[in-house]
């Protein structure tokens, strides 16, 4: 096993852990990083790696929010928390739009939109959208300030925005869902938490789909690369999620909007000149 490949896997894990939860597009960053730091792997493994590395990031959400997502309590006697069960049904409802389109058109969408140009345009468009919506929300009080106040209608609407992210790489799944939630009156904190929870079934499903397509036929080197990437993504995600939840209590998402616009411009310029 070449130590250089392990270092590359660490780099991809760091980028995944940072960009998966911030609304700045993990796909856009991964594509850009891949231009300069290419893993010595097959194209099929790379396509699978790009998705399955997200499982490491998912475990960070499970660890940090366990008490909010696990509906059972075992003390003197087992207790079932119905509000958490209700939340999970709403999360699953929000997954429906992206799941239907993803299962039916996964390969077609990858072929049509998985390229630097679409990623750059999505980065810029949604960056501008963040600036516009945050300016609009300055004078508007959020309607939903608790997770329990999210209705099935609200969840489905957020799921529609997630669908946009599923169709257009570079949109950012967390960016699209947070933006959609803000637009319909959800507070920043609740929007972020619901987005994190929504990622669990979405990423599990997407990862399983990619693993089935890849065929589970890993070499020893591929197992090491995937394991290292996932482990690093997990560790970095823990720190990033904690940072984000503290940051949005006092700040808006404008800085991420500006960052997206700059990154999108850089991606366009780089691939235009290359």
Distance of alpha carbon 179 from alpha carbon 159, whole angstroms: 11
Distance of alpha carbon 274 from alpha carbon 257, whole angstroms: 26
Q: Which domain holds residue 235?
A: 3-273
Q: Which residues contact 31 (CB under 8 A, 6 or more apart)?
A: 116, 119, 169, 267
Please give the pLDDT value at position 209. 84
Q: Which residues pair with 144 in a beta bridge?
A: 186
DSSP letter string, 103-151: HHHHHHHHHHH-SHHHHHHHHHHHHHHHHHHHHHHTT---SB-SGGG--
pLDDT mean by block of 10 residues, the chain; 274 residues: 91 95 86 86 91 93 93 82 93 88 69 76 92 91 94 94 79 88 94 94 87 88 95 97 94 94 89 83
CA atoms within 13 A on the CB side of 51: 21
Please give the pLDDT value at position 203. 87
Distance of alpha carbon 5 from alpha carbon 160, whole angstroms: 38
**Other C-beta atoms within 10 Å of 241: how many?**
23
This prediction has a pTM of 0.88
Please give the pLDDT value at position 231. 97
Could you tell me the two tokens for 203?
Answer: 């990423």
Could you tell me the two tokens for 157?
Answer: 């609407």
- Do the Cβ atoms of 27 and 180 come closer than 8 Å? no
**Total tally of structural domains belonging to the chain:** 1
Helix, strand, coil percentages for the chain (3-state, nearest 5): 75, 5, 20
Query: CA Rg, the chain, in Å?
Result: 19
The SS3 of residue 26 is helix
Q: Find where tokens 């790489």 sit.
A: 169
**Other C-beta atoms within 10 Å of 51: how many?**
18
Q: Which residues contact 105 (CB under 8 A, 6 or more apart)?
A: none
Q: Find where tokens 């945050």 sit.
A: 134
Determine the length of the chain: 274
Please give the pLDDT value at position 1. 66
Please give the pLDDT value at position 75. 75
Please give the pLDDT value at position 107. 67
Q: Cα dist. 60→65, 142, 144, 174, 180 in Å?
A: 8, 27, 25, 15, 23
């Amino acid at each position: 096993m070449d130590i250089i490949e392990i270092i590359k896997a660490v780099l991809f894990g760091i980028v995944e852990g940072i960009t998966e939860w911030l609304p700045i597009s993990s796909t856009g960053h991964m594509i850009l990083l891949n231009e300069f730091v290419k893993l010595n792997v097959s194209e099929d493994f790379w396509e699978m790696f790009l998705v399955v590395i997200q499982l490491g990031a998912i475990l960070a959400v499970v660890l940090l929010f366990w008490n909010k997502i696990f509906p059972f309590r075992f003390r003197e006697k087992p207790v079932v928390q119905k509000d958490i069960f209700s939340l999970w049904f709403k999360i699953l409802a929000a997954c429906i739009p992206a799941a239907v389109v993803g299962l039916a058109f996964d390969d077609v969408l990858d072929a049509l939109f998985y390229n630097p140009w679409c990623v750059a345009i999505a980065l810029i468009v949604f960056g501008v959208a963040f600036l516009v919506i945050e300016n609009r929300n300055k004078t508007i009080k959020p309607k939903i300030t608790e997770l329990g106040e999210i209705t099935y209608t609200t969840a489905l609407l957020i799921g529609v925005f997630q669908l946009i992210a599923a169709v257009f790489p570079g949109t950012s799944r967390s960016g699209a869902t947070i933006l959609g939630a803000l637009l319909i009156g959800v507070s920043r904190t609740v929007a972020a938490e619901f987005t994190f929870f929504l990622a669990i079934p979405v990423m599990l499903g997407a990862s399983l789909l990619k693993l089935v397509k890849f065929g589970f036929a890993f070499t020893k080197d591929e197992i090491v690369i995937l394991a290292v990437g996932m482990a690093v993504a997990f560790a970095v995600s823990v720190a990033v999620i904690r940072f984000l939840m503290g940051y949005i209590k006092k700040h808006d998402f404008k800085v991420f909007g500006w960052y997206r616009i700059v990154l999108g411009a850089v991606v366009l310029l780089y691939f235009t000149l290359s």
